[in-house]
Structure 1
Amino acid sequence: MSETQATRRQSAGRQKQPKSNDGRMPLADHLRELRNRLCIAILALLIGTVLGFVIHSWVLDQMTHSLCSIKGLHGVAQPTKQCPNGVLVVDGPLGGLSLSFDVSMMIGAIISSPVWSYQLWAFVAPGLYKKERKYGLSFVGAAVPLFLGGAAIAYWVFPKAMRILLGFVPPGMGQMIQGTDFLTFFIRMVLVFGLSFEIPLLMVGLNFIGILSAAKLRSWWRAIVFIIFVFAAVATPTGDPLTMTVLAVPICLLFFVALAVATIHDRTKAKRRAIEDPDSLLDDDQASSLDLAPSELPSQFDGVERISPSELAANEPMRYDSDDDIT
């Protein structure tokens, strides 16, 4: 075998095998595709982080403006134009660099979210059925605005929550907040509000796949409202009544919207099922209707001679009663 032929065989063996009609691939091709999509997602995150580093000062100023503008609060740091009350500080020689990197990476994750979210969907979608892909796109399209709505409410309520918390500082004492602690607190509050707004969407998803019916949701609505308020009290980083109420009330409203969507879906499903199968509406003690329509013989009986009942009676042998005395 020549060296050229061996090289051709090796290159042919390394070629990617085509996908089947149902999206099946060998394990090696799956791992190769996962590696490529992870590389694209990481590259997009790095580019977004670089762009975030350019604007991180402006973003950090927008985040800390509400805290630094609280009057009557005196920090231990030197007052500056960006933070007049001097409440924010950084610790150590690498504190400023660490804070800038964290803010830049947060911005990069937001900027690159269309890229890495598409790579995730493109890797998972081939293994789903057409109906599952349709539902998946619909729920993703609803989850994004819900998360953004929760994040916007968190950004609006954040200054009010900080005023309540910092209002407990005794007079004559200063306040010092680490920059990294402030950023962690802010991100946690945004994530709690954003993810909490996805709970009603999860209920709708469970209803659409047949696990949770609208009738059960209606019977549990009092307990669900109580659980929502308890969850809001535990999940909010501040724990004050204002923040808890601001989080719980929108979730309750979204729950009732989800209940209405689930009710409409169940009624539409019941009507469609009643048309396709009328016996599905019968109780357990009611008899179902019988199908008396004649059916065609299977294909294996084609060509077999059919005998009428009269011919069958004529060819039947004579039978004698047991009381006959011919014997």
Structure 2
Amino acid sequence: MARAKARRRDARARMPLSAHLKEFRTRLILATLGVAVGAVAGWFFYTPVFEALQEPVIAAADRDGAAVSVNFAGIATALDMQIKVSLVLGVVVSAPWWLYQLWAFVGPGLKAGEKRYAFGFLGTAVPLFFAGVALAWWVYPRAVDILIGFTPELASNFLDAQLFISFAMRLVLVFGIAFVFPVVMVALTWARVVKARTWLKGWRWAVLLIFVASAVLTPTPDVVTMMFMAVPLCLLYFGAVGIGLLRERTAAKKEARLAGQTGRDIES
């Protein structure tokens, strides 16, 4: 029984390209279904989430006495906003599920004895994703406060609801997904798709891209907000490289030991 399962796992690891594409489609469909289920749950939490998103706007209006509000420009805008918020909440709520599907797609590239690392992947990726979401939620009101502060005196600032929601939801997703990428790096190194030394050789470009992406994706013009995203990502990047190097060194020692043992067996 155990040998049969091992053969099936090994056969899956040697799947041709067409089979890998089919596997990718299956995992994508399962992940999408999970997000859809989460979106249904998110639909019922739209009101408290929207009220929380509005709080910085209301606070800025009360503090400065300016005409600042979220403006619904079209007859279907409110419905469209609720759908968008529900979908993003679905992505957040179902993060453990679609992260598992990501691992299940990468997993066949690992050896049978390495499947147990799925728990390590999920146990690291899920908290990091939610940590990124939490950091985005912390940055959001400060970003809104800074941006509204550019409104000239005696002027009104009617925020387009579509742009307002897109701004908030993009911030949450970008931070969450960005914090997961280092775990994906480790998974690719573990599956021997990308060598750790390849990640290490490109560290200068990686740091540059992280800072550029942080400057573009963070909505405020101040350096502090950008650093809140860039510095943790740089630390996570180098942490992922270190884990990958340690993994490759351990694997090389193990393979050398097995090769030496095989050579002695042949001689004897």
Give 1:101 shift. Answer: 3.7
Q: Which residue of 2 aligns with 1:72?
A: 64
Matched, 1:293 2:267: yes
Q: Which residue of 2 aligns with 1:230?
A: 212
Give 1:250 shift. Answer: 0.4
Q: 2:155 aligns with which of 169, 173, 178?
A: 173
Identical amino acids, percent of aligned pairs: 32
Change (3 A) 1:277 1:114: closer
Q: Which residue of 1 aligns with 2:33?
A: 41
**Number of corresponding residues:** 248
Q: Which residue of 2 aligns with 1:63?
A: 53
CA distance in 1 between partners of 2:244 and 2:103 (Å): 29
Give 1:148 shift. Answer: 0.9
1:194-209, aligned counterparts within 5 Å?
Answer: 194-209=176-191
Change (3 A) 1:185 1:274: same
Bigger relative contact order, structure 1 or 2 (CA pairs below 8 A, ≥6 apart): 2
CA distance in 2 between partners of 1:161 and 1:242 (Å): 11
Q: 1:102 aligns with which of 84, 92, 95?
A: 84
Q: Which piece of structure 1 moves more, 126-135 or 144-153? A: 126-135
Letter in 2 for 1:293: E
Residue 147 of structure 1 aligns to a residue whose secondary structure is helix
1:132-151, aligned counterparts within 5 Å?
Answer: 133-151=115-133
Provide Cα deviations, 1:41-71, integer angstroms capped at 9, x if missing partner. Answer: 37x836x555544432212111221232123
CA distance in 2 between partners of 1:216 and 1:125 (Å): 19
1:1-327, aligned counterparts within 5 Å?
Answer: 22=8, 41=33, 45=36, 49=39, 51-70=41-60, 71-72=63-64, 74-75=66-67, 86-111=68-93, 130=112, 133-278=115-260, 293=267
Residue 267 of structure 2 aligns to a residue whose secondary structure is coil
Note the residue ranges of structure 1 that are not aligned, 5 or more in a row.
1-20, 76-85, 280-288, 295-327
CA distance in 2 between partners of 1:126 and 1:223 (Å): 28
Q: Which piece of structure 1 moves more, 220-229 or 176-185? A: 220-229
**Contact persistence 1:188–1:237 (CA under 8 A):** no
**Contact persistence 2:95–2:126 (CA under 8 A):** no
CA distance in 2 between partners of 1:216 and 1:53 (Å): 43
Give 1:211 shift. Answer: 4.4
CA distance in 1 between partners of 2:92 and 2:231 (Å): 27
Give TM-score scaled by structure 1 length: 0.60
Letter in 1 for 2:33: A
CA distance in 2 between partners of 1:116 and 1:66 (Å): 31
CA distance in 2 between partners of 1:161 and 1:51 (Å): 28
Change (3 A) 1:94 1:216: closer
Instruction: Give the number of the structure whose alpha-carbon radius of gyration is greater.
Output: 1
**Contact persistence 1:68–1:87 (CA under 8 A):** yes
Residue 69 of structure 1 aligns to a residue whose secondary structure is helix
**Contact persistence 1:87–1:175 (CA under 8 A):** yes
Note the residue ranges of structure 2 that are not aligned, 5 or more in a row.
1-6, 12-18
**Contact persistence 1:161–1:242 (CA under 8 A):** no
Change (3 A) 1:116 1:190: closer
Change (3 A) 1:132 1:215: closer
Change (3 A) 1:88 1:274: same
